[in-house]
Structure 1
Amino acid sequence: MFMEERKAQILEYLHHMTRASVHDLSQQFNVSDSTIRRDLKELEETDNIKRTHGGAIPLQPVSFEASIGDRKKDYIAEKQAIARKAVEFINPGDAILLDSGTTTYELVKELKSFSNLSIVTNSISIMQELADIPGLDVMLLGGNLRRETSALVGPFAEQSLNMIRIDKAFIGTNGLDLKEGIITTPNLTEARIKRMMITNSRHTILMTDHSKIGKVNFAKVANLSEIDFCIVDHQVPDHFGEDMNRYDLNLHIVNI
């Protein structure tokens, strides 16, 4: 098989599988790991893929957004490890905010031992999970439903949020760009409500798995310098910790 033919088939394979390791690709195409790494490097240089730790993912348009149902299946172990760390930031009596997202969704499962918390969320999915936990004071923001993320957004949600102040906001993201030092999401109205959550909270904890690192979406949420803590799993790119030091936040890298 010629090199260009193999690269085209690698790209087709990645779009079908959504991600693949170097080892997977070398077996699939019966070539060495070094050959695959060279192919991936060239595909990345032409903006067709994004190399990750040990593999690659296809690049998506900046406005692309997978459904929340699809995203719940991805990186479950990583999200659970991040949630176990995040719960350490919560104290009895806190007023906390849970952003709509699949990583913050995992945090709900860690709250069953609490009985004295005020919890605000704009997520229908998270609200349904919280309903099964007795002893928690729960508030659902009003607003327009975005079915893609099960989130309530828009003027009513923003008005509700402006009436309260939060101790700690737990925020997810679709993209974390180290070069520009920003977090992003595909939708402008969702970016706006996330930003207001950050503004109206004393402390912001960003929860993200490694797959979001290096991705840039359509709408900017905030600068990394506006985030107080970031929790991420250990499968981050080389020098990630070094790069994050520029943004004056507390970084926590957790093992799975």
Structure 2
Amino acid sequence: MARNSIFQEERKLEVLKVLRDKKRIDVLEMCQKFDISPSTARNDLKELENEDIIKRTHGGAILKDHMDTEIPSTENEKAMINEKNAIAKKALDLINDGETIGISTGSSGYALAKKLVSKKNLTIITNDVKTACFLEQNTDFMIFIVGGIIRNKFHYIMNNANIPENISINKFFFSCNGFSVENGATISDMMLADNERIFLNLSQKRILLCDNSKMGITHFAQILPIDKINTIVTDKKISKKYLEQLKMFKSQVIISD
């Protein structure tokens, strides 16, 4: 992917974050925030409108009425891509051949899934359709996917009742929309948070994949508090101040290259 394309996808993600917090964004604000021209800002908004995420207004944009505060997977998986790949590479070192591995939905989990092709004899448990399809096509792993309803635009399955409680997971890798030392790992979807906790309670080790852009942010629903997380894998752009705060807790912190 060309570098300018990556910049555009990161801008679009930031635009959605502003809309989540402020409900609207202006072209002038985008120009000042990203150091871009008005035509570039309008082009970004046009693309988001074509994806049925926002509604353009005079001089700016608002979220579509049917959109909630979450960022669709099609946008999220393109942002912070270098950091997510570096985190996935580091997380791969934590996985041993023959283990039962859980992978939650999200772009960070999918980045990890793509690196699992080097492993052998894994059993994979996931609620993410895209992750399951990739591993089914590229590995000979045993793959268990939870049944239920696929959430539109997010490609994960919603149905807590279909998660068996008599299984044991060696390591469960999960991500979040926000992470803070006060509130732990949080996301916007309460049903998904409940779903994730069931998996995590069945796991011997709970490993959070969290890039620096999520640090210091709290969303609506808590997945796990920090003292329940065994390991946090993040990227080298995490602030020194926040890293020092994390070291005050018992969770192992691993920094990617």
Determine the structure 1 residue equivalent to 2:110.
105
Distance 2:184 2:75 in 1: 25
Match of 2:148 among 133, 143, 147: 143
Instruction: Using structure 1 for the length normalisation, give the TM-score.
Output: 0.74
Larger Cα-atom Rg = 1
Cα distance between partner residues in 1 of 2:74 and 2:155: 9
1:133, distance to aligned residue in structure 2 (A): 2.0
Map 1:225-244; keep pairs closer than 5 Å: 225-244=227-246
2:98 aligned with 1:93, yes or no?
yes
1:109 partner SS: helix
Quick one: which amino acid aligns to residue 177 of structure 2? N
Describe the SS at the equivalent of 1:107.
helix
1:129 corresponds to which residue? 134
| CA separation of 1:144 and 1:249: change in aligned 2, threshold 3 A | same
Give the 3 Å change call, closer, same or farther, for CA 15–66 of structure 1 in structure 2.
farther
The one-character-per-residue Cα deviations of 1:3-55 (angstroms, maximum 9, x if unpaired) are xxxxxxxx7359648x95xxx55x98xxxxxxxxxxxxxxxxxxxxxxxxxxx
Cα distance change of structure 1 residues 140 and 218 upon mapping to structure 2, 3 Å threshold: same
Distance 1:148 1:188, change over 3 A: farther
Cα distance in structure 2, aligned partners of 1:15 and 1:156: 45
Question: Which of 186, 189, 207 is the aligned partner of 1:187?
Answer: 189
The match for 1:206 among 205, 208, 229 is 208
Q: Does 1:165 align with 2:179?
A: no
1:143 is displaced (CA, Å) by: 2.0
Q: Please state whether the residue corresponding to 2:240 is helix, strand or coil.
A: coil
Unaligned runs of 5+ in 2: 1-24, 38-67
Structure 1 residue ranges, 4+ long, deviating more than 4 angstroms after superposition: 13-17
CA RMSD, Structure 1 to Structure 2 (Å): 2.2
- Percent identity of equivalent pairs: 26
Give the alignment's TM-score, normalised by structure 2.
0.73
Query: Match for 1:204: what amino acid?
Result: R
1-side partners of 2:189 and 2:73: how far apart?
Answer: 14
> Per-residue displacement from partner, 1:194-244 (whole Å, max 9, x unpaired)?
111211100011001111111111111110110000001111123122100
The 10-residue stretch of structure 1 (145-154 or 235-244) with the greater mean CA deviation from structure 2: 145-154
| Alpha-carbon distance in structure 2 between the residues aligned to 1:153 and 1:182 | 22
